[in-house]
Amino acid sequence: MPFGRKADPASGLSLDFDAIYARLIRPAIEAAGLEPIRADEEQAGGIIHKPMFERLILCEYAVADLTTANANVYYELGVRHAVRPRSTVQIFAAGTRLPFDLGPLRGLPYGVDPAGVPAAAESDGAKLADLLRHAREQAEATDSPIFQLVDGMAPPDISRLKTDVFRSRVEYSAKQKQALAEARRQGADAVRAARGELGPIADLEAGVAIDLMLSFRAVKAWREMIELVEALPEPLARTVMVQEQYALALNRAGDGEKAERVLLELIDRRGPSSETNGILGRVYKDRWQAARDAGRALEARGLLKKALEAYLAGFETDWRDAYPGVNAVTLMELAEPPDPRRTELLPVVAYAVKRRIAAGKPDYWDHATLLELAVLGDDPDAAAAALGDALAAVRESWEPETTLRNLRLIREAREARGGDTGWLGEVEQALSEAAAEQPGGS
């Protein structure tokens, strides 16, 4: 929205947008249970374009005031509509005219008096709060004209990929980026030292803070990762990506119960997703293994079921993301007796990951998924091919460690049933060596 007092070219009325924000928009956002943030309120360093674009892409909900046909506002709205199919609410001062292209879009008119301030802040604010609540409740409703008009258009992948390629998509200080990259190569102590040189967290650009968080993840410094998230400014800390990674770190640090609460709150707030449910499945999976190893058979059976349900729910929200799908198939294999649904689901997951690889930008997890599927399908040749591709794409030690953990579980389950698993030894050895070669590996 515009700032300060601006004149509407059509009516000539001078509007006080600071008053409109303070009396109408901000209270409505808070009434809807959301956290309001406006560009001129953010105190992060650097030019304003960086945090502005980060908000447009990362924030779950956005309110755009289209009054005065402000060119910056329309450009920002276009960016939002291009990457977010839903959760954008348009408002405008009653009596003002919208450009032709925006005429068909639904928007909320609000009243202003001759002084250019809200004329009915309470009633208009209640309507705006209702629209925001509706956006939260109708998680799958599409409001972007791009996604409404172009059949089959898929939104950019900002689920699993957003954590892996965020560093390359956000422009920030080259010096800080280089320092963190070098620190990751040296290990956890170097990342801790780099964090100390960055200064107060509240003064960092969002891109630097996220890169630091992912750097701690790369070297498995889970406690430092948790402390960082808890020190982030509230709007950034509550973004879906940060909350997901916060839960991942909590679980890795041994606080699975808190990780579960974070993820369930996230699902309640914005619905299931392949990434959120995938991490939740991992939380239950870790608890299942602990209960199984401790001999608590009944508890282990219940936790295995919860893990499987979490992974399946995640895969069903986005068939393109094979990560929760392959974990669901693996847990079906580990069940006693094995879940017969695995034979139906395995080719679906395989197709999903192969289509993603064919799109031209596969990462470690894509090749690791094919490796795990080949093991589940008892296909040594396919496993060898996928293993080579996966080893060439390793970035962080915890990646091959995660795959190695899954393959060991599969091997142990099959050995208990008398199956032939001799060929898996070389696969496990290669993954173990790859993990040890990375910073933070052991």
Last residue of a domain, one of 149, 176, 209: 149
Separation of alpha carbons 67 and 1, rounded Å: 8
**Helices (H) then strands (E): counts for the chain:** 22, 5
User: Is residue 163 assigned to a domain?
Assistant: no
- Alpha carbon dihedral 402, 407, 409, 414, in 10-degree steps, equals 170
What is the rounded average pLDDT of the residues 103-111? 75
* Predicted confidence band of residue 20 (pLDDT cuts 50, 70, 90): very high
Backbone angles phi, psi at 42, to 5 degrees: -80, 130
Res 440: pLDDT: 61
Same domain, 140 and 243: no
* Predicted confidence band of residue 260 (pLDDT cuts 50, 70, 90): very high
Q: 17-21, 26-30, 146-150, 362-366: which has the minimum mean pLDDT? A: 146-150
Same domain, 350 and 249: yes
Query: Does the structure show a pLDDT above 70 at 441?
Result: no
Q: 24-38, 65-79, 239-253, 390-404: which has the minimum mean pLDDT? A: 65-79
* CATH of residue 363: 1.25.40
Q: Which residue has the higher pLDDT, 202 or 229?
A: 229
Q: Is the pTM of this model over 0.75?
A: no
What is the rounded average pLDDT of the residues 134-159? 73
User: Is residue 407 assigned to a domain?
Assistant: yes
Same domain, 283 and 416: yes
User: Is residue 216 assigned to a domain?
Assistant: no
Instruction: For residue 34, count other CB atoms closer than 10 A to its CB.
Output: 21
Same domain, 140 and 275: no
Same domain, 118 and 252: no
What is the rounded average pLDDT of the residues 144-152? 78
User: Is residue 251 assigned to a domain?
Assistant: yes
* CATH of residue 62: 3.40.50
Last residue of a domain, one of 79, 114, 149: 149
User: Is residue 217 assigned to a domain?
Assistant: no
Tally of domains within the chain: 2
First-residue to last-residue Cα distance in the chain: 51
Same domain, 132 and 245: no
Res 44: pLDDT: 38
C-beta of residue 403 within 8 angstroms of C-beta of residue 390: yes
Ranges of H-type helices in 271-379: 274-293, 297-317, 322-334, 342-358, 364-376
Same domain, 298 and 422: yes
Same domain, 257 and 135: no
Res 41: pLDDT: 45
| DSSP tag of 156 | P
Task: Kindly report, residue by residue over 22-75, the tens digit of the pLDDT.
Answer: 999 999 999 998 878 775 444 333 334 555 676 677 777 889 888 887 777 888
Res 1: pLDDT: 78
Last residue of a domain, one of 149, 170, 205: 149
User: Is residue 195 assigned to a domain?
Assistant: no
* Predicted confidence band of residue 411 (pLDDT cuts 50, 70, 90): very high
Task: Kindly report, residue by residue over 288-315, the tens digit of the pLDDT.
Answer: 999 999 999 999 999 999 999 999 999 9
Query: Does the structure show a pLDDT above 80 at 97?
Result: no
Cβ-proximal residues to 122 (8 Å cutoff; 6+ apart), any chain: none
3-state secondary structure of 339: coil
Task: Kindly report, residue by residue over 337-384, the tens digit of the pLDDT.
Answer: 999 999 999 999 999 999 989 877 789 999 999 999 999 999 999 999
Give the CA diameter of the chain: 84
Same domain, 247 and 364: yes
Same domain, 412 and 263: yes
C-beta of residue 171 within 8 angstroms of C-beta of residue 207: yes
Same domain, 133 and 250: no
Same domain, 136 and 244: no
User: Is residue 223 assigned to a domain?
Assistant: no
Task: Kindly report, residue by residue over 416-432, the tens digit of the pLDDT.
Answer: 999 888 899 999 999 99
* Predicted confidence band of residue 159 (pLDDT cuts 50, 70, 90): low
Give the range of the structural domain holding residue 109, as residue numbers without chain letter: 5-149
Query: Does the structure show a pLDDT above 70 at 171?
Result: no
Per DSSP, the residues of 19-76 read: HHIIIIIHHHHHHTT-----GGG---SS-THHHHHHHHHH-S-EEEE-GGG-HHHHHH
User: Is residue 167 assigned to a domain?
Assistant: no
